[in-house]
Chains A and B, each alone.
Chain A
Amino acid sequence: MRELRWWCGPASGAWDWTWQPYVGVWLFLLAIIGAYILLVRRLGRPEPAERRARRRAVGWFATGIILLWGALDWPLGPLGAGYLASLHMVQFLLVGVAAPAFLLLGLPPETFRRIERAPRFMKLLDDLTQPIAAFFIFNVVMTVTHWPSVVDTLMATAAGSFVVDITWLLTGLVFWWPLCSPVPARPRFGPMLQVVYLALNAILIRPPFAFLLFSRYPVYATYELAAPIPGTDALGDQQLAAGIMKIGTAWIMAVAAAVVIYQYHRRKGFAQST
């Protein structure tokens, strides 16, 4: 076993498949799980009518945690942080796009009623999660955190890698909040606009995608100068990263849009039948 590391960081020598513990990742996940358990306990036993929703929420939350764990811990964590830009992008999809949606869906419905009782927090949420603001924040942060000089600076240390991961997670929460949370109420942000919100994110060509795909030479020193993994080359890996970024994001947005449309029709059908 190698030395203990708290978070995934830059490559150290050639990659091998020796398992490596990342204590910071475990503590981070345990802290989120602990906070969730505390929250659920505080909410108390749900009303019989809400028990199914509570069970479902716990399932969504567990899915979010599993996605985070898979993205941050060995082997994906160190491979993405120090060796392959394509896996760095897979991490981004998991930490910054997929997991936040599940974590938000994992909040029991009663949580939102409690949030409404905290006016200051509600005000902050209201400002941050305006769909236009959320869209802007998500895309700016996504662009900045994939900018070569930013990546090369931050991924040079475990602390920088931690900052990137946390930034992705928080930005992802902001992005999904208008879609997954009933508070603050946004009656004008209906299913049609939600689909437009998702579709715009799916089709938008962001600068990192363009330079990752079309650059003649590798743009990230982190991955270009890392010990090579047999069968990969820096430029091909970078182009694969561009594909994962574009297709992966588009696919997640498409699934989310399908869910929005399905729920809309289900609600409409339910309203017509009653």
Chain B
Amino acid sequence: MRPSRELLILLCATLVGCAPDAARSGNDRGYRGVVIPEPRAKPAFTLTDTRGEPFDFRERTRGYLTLVFFGYTYCPDICPVTMANLGAVMRELRPSVSRRIRVVFVTTDPARDTPERLGRWLRNFHPNFIGLTGDFDRINEIQQTMGLPPAQLGVPDSATGSYLVGHSAYVVAFTPDGLGRVLYPFGTRQVDWAHDLPKLLEDEWDDS
């Protein structure tokens, strides 16, 4: 059974609302995002990129600060805002910093987000953003391995056929050592990204 529009909105709101206070108040490491107490290993998976070619996520992002976001191009608010803010900050960062960062957008709506559409949409925000698509269930499994809730398709509008997709609103930051260390909820601002991204590259983590 597909959840109703109201349920999806509630899901989004809940996901969005879980941690913004924690994000804005920072933490003992000085990040504006939420530091994950037990860092998560970068999952290994292969999806299709915007050129229609296989993309080995772990291999192709090895050694980079990798920001992963799950969303969809028809998203009315959270996805475009998140990607626009990341794109704006990536353009503002020093090249020595920005070239060590990979931003990966994985669609939660593969039925509508073709590789071409995904590529076109992402280029609105930044030319180097990576877009991935694949099987809906596989993408949900990947989300769950990252500790994120699975996406849920909404009920299509009877007139237009369009539908919403409930999805998590977090960006997961994997540091160059391959561990997911910080979560960024919706509401993370450009100034927060500009503060945290260089720090994520510079900080040394003691996982002992």
Contact = CB atoms under 8 A, between A and B. Distances in A.
Interface residues of A, number: 15
Contacts of A183: none
Interface string B169-208: 0000000000000000011011100100000000000000
Interface string B73-101: 00011001100110011001000000000
Contact of A217 (B76, B77, B186, B191): B191
Contacts of B189: 217-218, 221, 224-225
A225 B80 contact: no
Contact of B81 (A216, A217, A227, A235): A227
A227 B76 CA distance: 7
B77 A234 contact: no
Nearest to B80: A228
Given A217-B92, A234-B84, A235-B88, A227 B77 contact: yes
Given A224-B85, A233-B84, A233-B88, 12 more contacts: A13-B77, A14-B77, A216-B92, A217-B191, A218-B191, A221-B189, A225-B81, A225-B186, A226-B77, A226-B81, A227-B80, A234-B84
A260 to B, nearest CB: 43
Closest 6 A/B residue pairs (Cβ): A14-B76, A227-B77, A217-B190, A217-B191, A228-B80, A13-B76
A233 B83 CA distance: 11
A11 B81 CA distance: 13
A122 B156 CA distance: 63
A224 B190 contact: yes
27 contacts: A11-B77, A13-B76, A13-B77, A14-B77, A216-B92, A216-B194, A217-B88, A217-B189, A217-B190, A217-B194, A218-B190, A224-B189, A225-B81, A225-B186, A225-B189, A226-B77, A227-B76, A227-B80, A227-B81, A228-B80, A228-B81, A228-B84, A233-B84, A233-B88, A234-B84, A234-B88, A235-B88
Contacts of B88: 217, 233-235
Contacts of A14: 76-77
A218 B194 CA distance: 12
A244 B99 CA distance: 36
Most buried by A among B88, B92, B187: B88
A216 B76 CA distance: 26
Interface string B59-78: 00000000000000000110
Contacts of B191: 217-218
Nearest to A224: B189
Contacts of B92: 216-217
A235 B88 CA distance: 9
A217 B84 CA distance: 12
Nearest to A12: B77
A234 B187 CA distance: 14
Contacts of A227: 76-77, 80-81
Interface string A1-28: 0000000000101100000000000000
Contacts of A225: 81, 186-187, 189
Contacts of A224: 81, 85, 189-190
